[in-house]
Chain A
Amino acid sequence: MSTAIDLIHMSGFLYISWKMVVMWLVAFGFIYLAIAKNFEPLLLLPIGFGILLANLPFAELMKPHEGLLWRFYHYGIQWEVIPPLIFLGIGALTDFGPLLANPKLLFLGGGAQMGVYITFFAAHLFGFNVAESAVIGIIGGADGPTTIYLASKLAPHLLGSCAVAAYSYMAMVPLVQPPIMYLMTTKKQRQRVMKTMRKVGRLERILFPIVATIVVILLIPPSAPLMAMFMLGNLFRESGVVERLNHAAQNELLNIVTIFLGVPVGATMNAEVFLKPDVLFIFFLGLFAFMASTATGIGIAHIMNLFLKEENKINPLVGAAGVSAVPMSARVVQMVGLKENKRNYLLMHAMGPNVAGVIGTVMAAGIFLSLIK
């Protein structure tokens, strides 16, 4: 009898708190969204499961130096290994053709980063310190690995909530962006058909990752780990001579690091850390950041149109793709454009600012790292 009682005391059942139960519900919510609604399942599913694991009493998977998930977290994220590897895979998947065909679209990707700095300011007004505000602001870049990379360096205690906010809003791009797009454009502007893109040669595609690496890293050295891997992945793709490496970066490597990223990020969200009013503010500010970045991207498109000839004018909707939720925001631009004009195919035009947004967010993160010690 006493052995049975001992066993019950050794189990976790007696130590379940209401806070843990709340976190289980959060975890089930993520798993449900991933499986039933197909919202960013590659990330929300492992993150959701990680949240569940972090909130099981005595599991101690995040116990420093001992827990399995702590090891993933420490050696993968704190050692800054996984986010750059994710960028290697993303680089191998990225086609810079639309950007090279119309390089002025780069400015839309840069313009959308203004939302990051607006939110940075807003977060400080809500009482967050400079480093925390920077991490919250970067959510507006809509780039999960960059958010995680910056959080691990500047505010590790916000890593879980900021990463989850970033990925959640990326999944909700089709809900968040269209109202802002309609609000900031007229029907006539949304119907504008853009000029057909020129064909981009192989040499240009090969030279771009090399040139971009040199320019960006020379200007903002702290952006080197992400930028270098991103462009290396793209060089694998465009060179055409390392098909095995290209295939591995796009598939096996990206899939493996996604697992090692998702589960420990979810596991950082234990009840004690997550159930605080600050986290609600982070989610609110993250949404604000996303909306601000969308709005500034469209705003920059309007400003550019003031200086462009009639035949070269941009459909301002593509400015919304300046947030780097690739390719979701480009698809949303295509969907909204097509709704207004059945002959308006904006997808490839929107892919330009979309990939420029990735570069812009990496630059913004690098600048934060340079300026905030």
Chain B
Amino acid sequence: MMSQMINISIAGVSGVMIGIFLLYLSVRVTCWCCDKIEKKEKRGKK
């Protein structure tokens, strides 16, 4: 039982941190893409 608890705790903490890290990466990529699109639009207007 104790080993199951340890396994769940380790899997839980690492699962949340991996999820957050993936979300962080995807946010960074999304923001980078949006920035590029906005700059392109501004250049197009000029």
Q: Mark A354-373, 1 if CB is under 8 A from B, else 0.
A: 00100110011001100110
Task: Say yes or no: is A73 at the interface (Cβ < 8 Å to chain B).
Answer: no
Q: Name A216-252 residues within 8 Å CB distance of B.
A: 216, 219-220
Select one of A110, A211, A368 contacting B27, CB under 8 A: A211
Q: Name A74-99 residues within 8 Å CB distance of B.
A: 99
Q: With contacts A100-B31, A220-B19, A359-B20 known, what are 16 further pairs, Cβ within 8 A?
A: A103-B24, A106-B20, A106-B23, A106-B24, A109-B20, A114-B13, A130-B8, A201-B35, A212-B27, A219-B22, A359-B23, A360-B16, A360-B19, A363-B15, A368-B12, A371-B12
Given known contacts A100-B31, A203-B34, A208-B27, is B22 in contact with A117 (CB within 8 Å)? Answer: no
Instruction: Check A208 against B19 for contact (C-beta < 8 Å).
Output: no
B19: A residues at CB distance < 8 A:
110, 215-216, 219-220, 360, 363
Select one of B4, B12, B20, B34 contacting A117, CB under 8 A: B12
29 examples of A-B residue contacts, CB within 8 angstroms:
A100-B31, A103-B24, A104-B24, A107-B17, A111-B17, A114-B13, A117-B12, A121-B9, A130-B1, A130-B8, A133-B5, A134-B8, A201-B35, A201-B38, A203-B38, A207-B34, A208-B30, A211-B27, A211-B30, A215-B22, A215-B23, A215-B26, A216-B19, A220-B15, A359-B23, A364-B16, A367-B12, A368-B8, A371-B11
Shortest Cβ gap from B33 to chain A (Å): 8
Give the interface size bracket for B toward A: 20 to 34
Instruction: Check B9 against A120 for contact (C-beta < 8 Å).
Output: yes
In the complex, residue of chain B having the shortest beta-carbon distance to the beta carbon of A112: B16
State in angstroms the CA–CA spacing of A211 and B4 once bound together. 33
- Residues of B whose CB lies within 8 Å of any CB of A are 1, 4-5, 7-9, 11-13, 15-24, 26-28, 30-31, 34-35, 37-38
Task: Say yes or no: is A71 at the interface (Cβ < 8 Å to chain B).
Answer: no
Given known contacts A124-B5, A130-B8, A211-B30, is B15 in contact with A367 (CB within 8 Å)? Answer: yes
| A-B pairs with lowest CB-CB distance, top 7 | A110-B20, A103-B27, A367-B15, A117-B9, A204-B34, A203-B34, A363-B19
